[in-house]
Chains A and B, each alone.
Chain A
Amino acid sequence: MTSVWRSMPLRLALMLVILFGTVSLLSLAASYAFTRAAFEQSVRDDLAQDLAGFRAAPSARAVALLVQAESEGTDPDRLVLSYVTRTGRIYGNGAIARDDEGFHIISLEEGRATLDGEYLALSERLYGGRLTIARSRAEIEALQPVFLNILWISLLPTVLIALSGGLILGRRSQRHVEVIRATLEQLTGGDLAARVDRGPRWSDDLARIGGAVNGMAQAQERSVAALRQVSSDIAHDLKTPVQRVSLRLEALADAVPDGEAADLVAQTRTEVDGISSVFTSLLQLAQVENSALKAQFVPVDLTKLCHTMVEVYEPSAAQNGQTLTFDGPDEVMASGEKTLLGQMIANLLENALRHAGQGAVIKVSLENTPTGPLLQVSDNGPGIPENEYPRVTERLYRLEQSRNTPGNGLGLSLVDGVARLHDAELSFEDAKPGLRVSVQFPTL
């Protein structure tokens, strides 16, 4: 399964989130910078105005008194006034003696411990002393957490919503893509009745692809059905003439005296019986492809069926010098059609009896596995080459080595058909030596 992170809608959502995030960050950063600059400017303006007030004083003494008076009720956390006279006397609520004039960012840490943080200071020489006015930059600094908060409050939910939306959309589209993929797999596996089940919430493009897949499957199914219909029609139409031939031969057999002619009639009857059996098998095959038969399914005891089958075939095996055994628990139930299941087991047994050779040991085994009943027929005969496994269930296919043995090449096709009808899986493997055929039924 592909990761949901690689699905298209989620990728789109992620890209949008990144784009949106970047733009938001940039605009927030810009407005932060502007606001900060504006705040700083206003502090500077305030400082300049303050200083202008002191400059109006007529003497150093007056400045010192003014500073002293002004600083009396002033919180040094907000505003620090300092006038250092030529003689070194300090007035104000702080001691800042700067030689350079103009704006500075200063820290009062070393001077007075209570004054912490950064200040914007303006210094000027006045009447030989140095006047410094410093305003706290706390308000400017407070902007940063405010803007950070704005960042979180606005960006985080957006990112979360976009991501989860993308994730939901991605999941959904992945589900829909998965439906299409599973249908295609079923079609490839030969289940031509499989269709993409499009829900009302499907996105338009996926629904269109699903529709196209369904159209293709329908066309395929029609042509295969037409082909099958032809073969079943031929078998059907030829049954009546074969019936006539068979009845006439029967009458002929009664009419001719024993001898060469009677032998010829007997041989011809055998041939006609062979033709009939091909027709019967072809029609049976057409029948098991009709899944409507599933409506007739009832619980079938496979143990009992296998037991009876093995009993029926045991004398035939003994005649070939073969051993036929059955091994299984007392009861193994599967849902199915008894006649067809019986025919399937019969075909498997006849296949083994016919191809395993003289003296072979043929084992029928039944088992309740966690995934359902497992039926196996194995022999220790020559087996079949592994590359032939997929082909042996093809209609009328016969292995080179079995051209001269009886059989019409439809036996295993029918086994396959019956297995499919029962949702069971047919597989072949090397029994070393010999062939093991397994039919894995689904759980009841």
Chain B
Amino acid sequence: MWFSVAIQNCNAAGGAGRKVTDYIADMNLLVIEDDATTGTYIARGLREEGHVVDLAQDGSEGLTLAAAGTYDVMIVDRMLPQVDGLTLVKTLREAGNTTPVLFLTAMGSVEDRIGGLNAGGDDYLVKPFAFGELSARVTALGRRPQAVERETALHAGDLTLDLLTRKVVRGDQEIDLLPREYALLEFLLRRKGRVQTRTMLLEGVWDLSFDPMTNVVETHVSRLRAKVDKPFKTELIKTVRGAGYRIDG
């Protein structure tokens, strides 16, 4: 069913420019956000990507919807009228609901992240955020319960990354990568078709969650590109404007 919907989705939005996720099946999403403008924009953007989105404007409405419906991912603002985001998620978790939750927060990061994750959140995003970041993270969360693939090699186009020998070959040419370049390529390949934002790359490849003021991630990607893409005709690592990077299949 997911597959057919995905095709339909591709047809519907084909080439519309704004698409961040190309082949991921649409999901049932619940957005609980009290700021109407932000909530509407998030909902509209996610719908444009082919997801089915319900929008709740306060905690109690959100709790009712969350308890009744079956969602793939919930996007919850931490500060909500009536029932705040933390309590909402705690209540859901106590009731046995395991739907992945992305917290939106307007507060500082560290304490918030720890508090949010302790309450049962799966990821968090600090306001103001870019839509691309939100979309990429929602997609990552929706795909989280992924079976560990027992593959010994990752492929994309004519590129093969051998997980056992750590050799990377494109066409008939072997590419020599530094350890961190290899890790970056592996991370993108494992999430083939899905956008990875700069902060997701920092978290995933370097295990760092901080706010770089300079374009540190870009420089790493461009180094990787110089080895993986530049000598070849087609570009494997794509830049998704306002969001991040992606390798397509």
Q: Which of A90-98, A110-118, A339-347, A388-396 contacts B (4 or more CB under 8 A)?
A: A339-347
**Which residue of B is nearest A313, CB measured?**
B216
Cβ-defined contact, B216 with A243, below 8 A: no
Give the complex CA separation of A279 and B215 in angstroms.
19
Give the complex CA separation of A299 and B180 in angstroms.
25
Which positions 197-245 of chain A face chain B at CB distance < 8 Å?
A: 236, 239-240, 242-244
Across the interface, A316 reaches (CB within 8 A) one of B108, B114, B132, B216, namely B216
Give the complex CA separation of A254 and B113 in angstroms.
31
A71: interface (CB < 8 Å)? no
A370: interface (CB < 8 Å)? no
Give the complex CA separation of A12 and B222 in angstroms.
79
B210: interface (CB < 8 Å)? yes
CB neighbours of B232 from chain A (8 A): none
CB neighbours of B174 from chain A (8 A): none
CB neighbours of B12 from chain A (8 A): none
Cβ-defined contact, B214 with A240, below 8 A: no
Contact pattern, B 55-74, Cβ under 8 Å of A = 1, otherwise 0: 00000000000000000000
Give the complex CA separation of A42 and B242 in angstroms.
122
Give the complex CA separation of A342 and B206 in angstroms.
11
Cβ-defined contact, B242 with A244, below 8 A: no
B211: interface (CB < 8 Å)? yes
Per the CB 8 Å criterion, the residue count for chain A at the interface is 49
CB neighbours of A407 from chain B (8 A): 213
Given contacts A312-B202, A342-B208, contact A239 B128 (CB under 8 A): yes
Cβ-defined contact, B128 with A312, below 8 A: no
Cβ-defined contact, A247 with B207, below 8 A: no
Which positions 292-328 of chain A face chain B at CB distance < 8 Å?
A: 292-293, 296, 308-309, 311-313, 315-316, 318-319
**Which residue of B is nearest A341, CB measured?**
B210
A66: interface (CB < 8 Å)? no
Cβ-defined contact, B210 with A339, below 8 A: yes
Per the CB 8 Å criterion, the residue count for chain B at the interface is 42
Cβ-defined contact, B38 with A244, below 8 A: yes
A277: interface (CB < 8 Å)? yes
Cβ-defined contact, B131 with A315, below 8 A: no
A309: min CB distance to chain B, Å: 8
A337: interface (CB < 8 Å)? yes
B46: min CB distance to chain A, Å: 12
CB neighbours of B222 from chain A (8 A): 315
A214: min CB distance to chain B, Å: 28
CB neighbours of A337 from chain B (8 A): 110
Q: Which of A1-9, A16-24, A140-148, A282-290 contacts B (4 or more CB under 8 A)?
A: A282-290
Across the interface, B208 reaches (CB within 8 A) one of A251, A308, A316, namely A308
Contact pattern, B 35-51, Cβ under 8 Å of A = 1, otherwise 0: 10110011001000000
Given contacts A250-B130, A339-B109, contact A316 B38 (CB under 8 A): no
Given contacts A253-B242, A311-B180, A340-B110, contact A316 B215 (CB under 8 A): yes
B96: interface (CB < 8 Å)? no
Cβ-defined contact, B128 with A276, below 8 A: yes
Give the complex CA separation of A287 and B216 in angstroms.
25
Which positions 70-95 of chain B face chain A at CB distance < 8 Å?
A: none
B18: interface (CB < 8 Å)? yes
B160: min CB distance to chain A, Å: 25
A429: interface (CB < 8 Å)? no
Give the complex CA separation of A337 and B112 in angstroms.
13
Cβ-defined contact, B41 with A248, below 8 A: yes
Cβ-defined contact, A251 with B41, below 8 A: yes
Max chain A Cβ within 10 angstroms of own Cβ: one of B113, B114, B180, B208: B208
Give the complex CA separation of A283 and B223 in angstroms.
34
A365: interface (CB < 8 Å)? no
Given contacts A293-B111, A319-B219, contact A346 B131 (CB under 8 A): no
Cβ-defined contact, B110 with A283, below 8 A: no
Cβ-defined contact, B108 with A283, below 8 A: yes
**Which residue of B is nearest A279, CB measured?**
B128
A280: interface (CB < 8 Å)? yes
A271: min CB distance to chain B, Å: 13
Cβ-defined contact, A308 with B206, below 8 A: yes
5 additional A-B residue pairs with CB within 8 Å, beyond A339-B210, A411-B213 = A246-B130, A250-B131, A290-B111, A296-B114, A313-B216
Subset of 16 A-B contacts with CB under 8 Å = A243-B35, A244-B35, A246-B128, A254-B17, A277-B211, A287-B110, A287-B111, A292-B111, A311-B180, A315-B220, A319-B219, A339-B113, A342-B209, A346-B212, A346-B213, A350-B212
Interface residue ranges, A against B (CB under 8 Å):
236, 239-240, 242-244, 246-248, 250-251, 253-254, 269, 272, 276-277, 279-280, 283-284, 286-287, 290, 292-293, 296, 308-309, 311-313, 315-316, 318-319, 337, 339-340, 342-343, 346-347, 350, 353-354, 406-407, 411
